[in-house]
């Protein structure tokens, strides 16, 4: 009798410890705060492919654009960030292996545009079953505005102002060119004689950037770019005479869709 009671108590204690450990392994991460330490251990929950993973609740508000970097010197970091009921059931999650750079080029980086209350999650893992060790999550709140908010403020028009970062998305409901490629056209007004840098970062597709004279949909092509440096992203640096321009975001990936960041800034040397 006593032994049964004792084992029941022990089982209850084990349950308490286990749920306590679960709570500890899911610390909330608030963007902009100090780096969050984590560790992958052999006793952690396991994915279908045998990799262990960690789970962090991402404390964000709709309208925020957040960069998450997972850095580790112990193993090859892999990230998944998305929303859903848990780290195991996210929808439209973004994943990344090595975009975060780091000393060995193996850190992971994901940028997400927070379009609703989620809940949002960060899932941390390695890239194979033997990856264990310590890592840090660095989160940054980016000074970006969501495309949906730009359209809401501009009666449906896509507008980008000098110095702005717009977080937007090509979807299967975006306008299509004559050959079926999805695009989005942002109105831009050049005001000075400085060099304008226009940068298009797209994690999900091979970006293509075009600047045309006049407001959207634009006329004569002023500048265009497919890739720059060693990326598939696009960048244009051009001295644009004052006036209205159409900045067209598209892809060379056929009918590809996905998130992108479009940034305008002053400076740099003309391409
Ligand atoms: Ca990696
Ligand atoms: Ca490209």
Domains and CATH numbers, the chain: 24-142 (2.60.120.380), 144-266 (2.60.120.380)
What is the 259 CA–ligand 2 centroid distance (Å)?
14
Q: What HEC string does the chain produce? A: CHHHHHHHHHHHHHHHHHHHHHHHCCCCECCCCCCEEEEECCCCCECCCCCEEEEEEECCCCCCEEEEEEECCCCCCEEEEEEECCCCCEEEEEEECCCCECCCCCEEEEEEECCCCCCEEEEEECCCCCCCEEEEEEEEEECEEEHHHHHHHCCCCCECCCCCEEEEEECCCCCECCCCCECEEEEEEECCCCEEEEEEEECCCCEEEEEEECCCCCCCEEEEECCCCCCCCEEEEEECCCEEEEEEEEECCCCCCEEEEEEEEECCCCC
Question: Which ligand has the nearest atom to the CA of 104?
Answer: 1
For the residues 21-29, what does the mean pLDDT come to? 61
What is the 225 CA–ligand 2 centroid distance (Å)?
7
151 versus 12: the higher-pLDDT residue is 151
Q: Quick one: pLDDT at residue 192?
A: 84
Question: Which ligand has the nearest atom to the CA of 96?
Answer: 1
Average pLDDT, the chain: 90
What is the 69 CA–ligand 2 centroid distance (Å)?
23
Q: Quick one: pLDDT at residue 26?
A: 65
What is the 178 CA–ligand 1 centroid distance (Å)?
38
92 versus 13: the higher-pLDDT residue is 92
For the residues 50-67, what does the mean pLDDT come to? 96
pLDDT digits (tens, 9 = 90+) for 63-113: 999 999 999 999 999 999 999 999 999 988 999 999 999 999 999 999 999
Q: Quick one: pLDDT at residue 193?
A: 82
What is the 236 CA–ligand 2 centroid distance (Å)?
12
């Amino acid at each position: 009798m006593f032994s049964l009671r004792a084992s029941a108590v022990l089982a209850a204690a084990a349950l308490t410890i286990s749920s306590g450990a679960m709570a500890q392994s899911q610390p909330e991460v608030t963007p902009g705060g100090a780096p969050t330490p984590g560790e992958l251990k052999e006793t952690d929950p396991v994915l279908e492919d045998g990799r262990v993973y960690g789970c962090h609740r991402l404390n964000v508000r709709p309208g925020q654009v957040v960069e998450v970097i997972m850095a580790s010197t112990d193993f090859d970091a892999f990230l998944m960030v998305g929303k859903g009921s848990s780290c195991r059931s996210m929808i439209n999650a973004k994943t990344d292996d090595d975009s975060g750079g780091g000393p060995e080029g193996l850190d992971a980086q994901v940028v997400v545009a927070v379009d609703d209350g989620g809940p949002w999650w960060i899932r941390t893992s390695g890239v194979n079953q033997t990856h264990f060790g310590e890592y840090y999550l660095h989160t940054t709140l980016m000074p970006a505005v969501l495309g949906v908010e730009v359209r809401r403020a501009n009666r449906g028009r896509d507008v980008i102002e000098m110095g702005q970062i717009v977080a937007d998305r090509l979807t299967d409901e975006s306008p299509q060119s004559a050959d079926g490629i999805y695009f989005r056209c942002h109105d831009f007004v050049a005001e000075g004689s400085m060099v304008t840098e226009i940068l298009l970062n797209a994690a999900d597709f091979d970006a293509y950037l075009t600047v045309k004279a006049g407001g959207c949909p634009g006329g004569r092509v002023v500048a265009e770019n497919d890739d720059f440096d060693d990326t598939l992203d696009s960048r244009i640096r051009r001295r644009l005479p004052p006036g209205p321009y159409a900045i067209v975001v598209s892809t060379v990936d056929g009918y590809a869709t996905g998130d992108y960041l479009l940034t305008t800034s002053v400076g740099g040397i003309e391409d």
